[in-house]
Structure formats: structure tokens, C-alpha cells
């Protein structure tokens, strides 16, 4: 388990760094999917196999493809120099992010979490489903949250269509006509 933990930690963190420092945008997207795969492995280790399946389906599958479509529509993928892809806050951003990471790691590591042991998660998919629908004890609020999220997804779908719809006489259409 420790070996798997360190392997997944290396995979996740190195891929996350690759997203930030890669000069090619497509490589950033592929590094991002590698990082998501590492997180899916962690979900398997943490007794949440259904969540790992969601992670692979939604993030490694759908979000990566969506990102690649976004790249395809908005830029030609080619390696660029660092001066053109990174703004002037490189060192200030590194300072802030390292401070945030060190502070979070220190607090989370030094906090006394009491009697913790692995194996409390909803290993069965049926348990996760009961929690998510608010049927099980102590999870009643999820009835409301589930409905709110479903409405939110509908709003997001409609909003995405409305925002990205091509209006006549705007932007690229106008340039194409000229």
C-alpha cells in the first residue's frame, strides 16, 4: 500500500507540475489527465471504487476531451517560449503558492485528528448511493443537495449553449463576411 501511495503521489504531483510548466498546451491537457488518473488510484485506495469510476469517466474522459476541444478551437498547438506563456508574476506566484502549500501541509500534518483508521468509507456502491440520495442515517441534507446539483447542471447546460451560440453579425461571422 505504501508503494502504491508513493507511486501515485509521484504520478499526481509530477503530472500537476507538468500542467503548469509545459510549453505545449496539448501536453498540459495530457498531463492533466495523468494527474486525474493518479487521483482515481487514490480513490481506489480510499475504499471509494465507484468514485474512482466517476473520476475516470468524467475527468480523464470527458473533461480532458472538452479541454482538447477548447484548445482545438482557440489556438494552434505549438510549443511557445516561456516568456509568451507565463506572465510577470512567476516568482511572486511561486512564492505565494509555496507559502500556501507549506502552510496547508503544516496545518494538516500537525493537527491531531484523533483516532483515525482506514476503512470507514462507503466501500459498497449501494452505500454511496444511499448517502447520495439522503436515505441513510445522518445524510438527510443530501436529498436537497442532489436536487440543487441537478438544477445547477441543467442551468449550466443551457448557459453554455446560450453563451457559445454564434450570433449573426458578431465576431468571427462579421470578419468572415468582410
Partner 1 sequence: MPPQIQQVLDAMTATPPLEGYLVVGAFMFAIGAWGALIRRNAVVIFMCVELMINAVNLTLVAFADYLPNAGGLGASYAVLVIAIAAGEIAVGLAIVLAVFRSRRTVNVDEVTSMRG
Site for partner 1 in 105-164 (CB under 8 A): 105, 108-109, 113-122, 127-128, 131-132, 136-139, 142, 145-146, 149, 152-153, 155-157, 159-161, 163-164
Number of residues that bind partner 1 (CB under 8 A): 95
The single residue among 9, 79, 126, 135 that binds partner 1, judged by CB under 8 A, is 9
53 touching partner 1, by CB under 8 A: no
What is the three-state SS of 93-129?
HHHHHHHHHHHHHHHHHHCCCCCCCCCCCCCCHHHHH
11 touching partner 1, by CB under 8 A: no
61 touching partner 1, by CB under 8 A: no
19 touching partner 1, by CB under 8 A: yes
Taking the complex as a whole, the smallest distance from the CB of residue 20 to partner 1 amounts, in Å, to 4
* CB closer to partner 1 out of 118 and 177: 118
169 touching partner 1, by CB under 8 A: no
7 touching partner 1, by CB under 8 A: no
CA atoms within 13 A on the CB side of 135: 7
Residue 92: its H or E element? helix 90-110
25 touching partner 1, by CB under 8 A: yes
CA-closest candidate to residue 52, choices 1, 113, 128: 128
d(CA 97, CA 95): 6
Taking the complex as a whole, the smallest distance from the CB of residue 45 to partner 1 amounts, in Å, to 8
d(CA 123, CA 130): 12
The single residue among 81, 172, 177, 178 that binds partner 1, judged by CB under 8 A, is 172
Q: Please name the residue that has the C-alpha cell 503521489.
A: 9
d(CA 86, CA 37): 26
Local structure of residue 166 (DSSP, 8 states): P
Residue 72-111 contact track with partner 1, rule CB under 8 A, x = bound: -xxx--------xxxx-xx-xxx-xxx-xxx-xx--xx--
Amino acid at each position: 500500500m505504501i508503494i502504491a501511495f508513493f507511486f501515485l503521489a509521484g504520478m499526481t504531483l509530477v503530472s500537476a507540475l507538468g500542467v503548469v510548466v509545459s510549453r505545449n498546451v496539448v501536453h498540459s491537457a495530457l498531463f492533466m489527465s495523468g494527474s486525474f488518473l493518479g487521483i482515481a488510484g487514490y480513490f481506489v485506495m480510499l475504499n471509494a471504487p465507484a468514485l474512482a469510476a466517476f473520476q475516470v469517466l468524467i475527468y480523464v474522459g470527458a473533461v480532458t476531451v472538452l479541454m482538447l476541444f477548447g484548445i482545438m478551437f482557440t489556438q494552434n498547438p505549438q510549443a511557445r517560449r516561456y516568456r509568451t506563456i507565463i506572465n510577470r508574476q512567476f516568482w511572486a506566484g511561486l512564492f505565494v503558492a509555496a507559502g500556501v502549500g507549506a502552510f496547508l501541509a503544516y496545518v494538516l500534518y500537525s493537527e491531531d485528528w484523533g483516532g483515525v483508521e482506514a476503512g470507514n468509507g462507503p466501500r459498497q456502491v449501494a452505500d454511496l448511493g444511499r448517502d447520495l440520495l439522503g436515505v441513510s442515517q445522518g445524510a438527510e441534507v443530501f436529498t436537497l443537495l442532489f436536487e440543487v446539483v441537478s438544477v445547477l447542471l441543467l442551468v449550466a447546460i443551457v448557459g453554455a449553449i446560450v453563451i457559445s451560440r454564434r450570433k449573426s453579425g458578431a465576431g468571427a461571422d462579421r470578419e468572415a463576411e468582410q
